[in-house]
């Protein structure tokens, strides 16, 4: 734990009246952790939605479509486990932030949207196009699916970037 984080924890625990200044001080000291917690949760959430909707409900693709259906189903299981690992890690960080009185809801939601958008962009560009391990849907014209996938990613990233910019550490007076 850094000296700044120890000071934040001490300042927060001394503030018995729950003053806003102590809360802002704690949030400023744990600004990155709020962002990481939200980002991990966002990655896990969007990966879960992708797997539940496109893999299981619509049967459009598996995580790995370059082999047999059985291998595709196993790859979906690993993908599902990884998405839940990211979600749970984000929630553990969130619980720690709340315990320390350092949870910054707006910054956390910014992280959720950034994580979701980053996953969406990575999935659409790297997995679909560069590696070619699966496509969104196996139809003759993929352009509308690829463009929609990319637009959603950019919108999520933009919204997350706006929320994150609104919660920059420099906006909080820590002294």
Report CA 110 to chain centroid distance, whole Å. Answer: 9
CA distances from 98 to 105, 128, 164, 172 (A): 10, 38, 19, 19
Structure confidence at residue 138 (pLDDT): 85
Number of Cβ within 10 Å of residue 63's Cβ equals 24
Whether residue 6 has pLDDT greater than 50: no
Whether residue 174 has pLDDT greater than 80: no
Distance of alpha carbon 105 from alpha carbon 118, whole angstroms:
20
The answer, as to whether pTM is greater than 0.75, is yes
Distance of alpha carbon 123 from alpha carbon 129, whole angstroms:
9
What residue ranges do the domains of the chain occupy? 3-171
Across residues 29-40, what is the average pLDDT? 95
Distance of alpha carbon 122 from alpha carbon 115, whole angstroms:
10
Say which range, 20-24, 79-83, 116-120, has the weakest mean pLDDT: 20-24
Distance of alpha carbon 30 from alpha carbon 26, whole angstroms:
6
Q: Which is more confidently placed, 68 or 94?
A: 94
Structure confidence at residue 169 (pLDDT): 58
pLDDT tens profile 102-118? 999 999 999 999 999 99
Q: Residue 173: which residues within 8 A CB-CB, separation 6 or more?
A: 24
Structure confidence at residue 90 (pLDDT): 98
Structure confidence at residue 134 (pLDDT): 85
pLDDT tens profile 127-166? 888 988 888 888 899 899 999 999 999 999 999 999 999 9
């Amino acid at each position: 734990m850094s000296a700044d984080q120890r000071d934040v924890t001490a300042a927060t625990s001394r503030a018995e009246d729950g003053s806003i200044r102590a809360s802002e001080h704690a949030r400023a000291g744990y600004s990155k952790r709020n962002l990481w917690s939200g980002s991990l949760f966002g990655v896990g959430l969007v990966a879960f939605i992708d797997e539940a909707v496109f893999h299981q409900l619509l049967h459009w693709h598996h995580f790995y479509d370059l082999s047999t259906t059985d291998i595709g189903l196993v790859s979906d299981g690993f993908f599902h486990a990884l998405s839940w690992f990211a979600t749970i890690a984000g929630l553990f960080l969130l619980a720690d932030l709340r315990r320390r009185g350092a949870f910054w809801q707006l910054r956390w939601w910014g992280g959720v949207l950034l994580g979701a958008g980053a996953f969406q962009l990575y999935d659409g560009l790297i997995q679909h196009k560069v590696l070619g391990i699966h496509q969104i849907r196996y139809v003759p014209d993929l352009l509308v699916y690829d463009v929609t996938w990319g637009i959603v990613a950019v919108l999520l990233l933009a919204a997350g970037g706006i929320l994150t910019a609104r919660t920059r550490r420099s906006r909080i007076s820590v002294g």
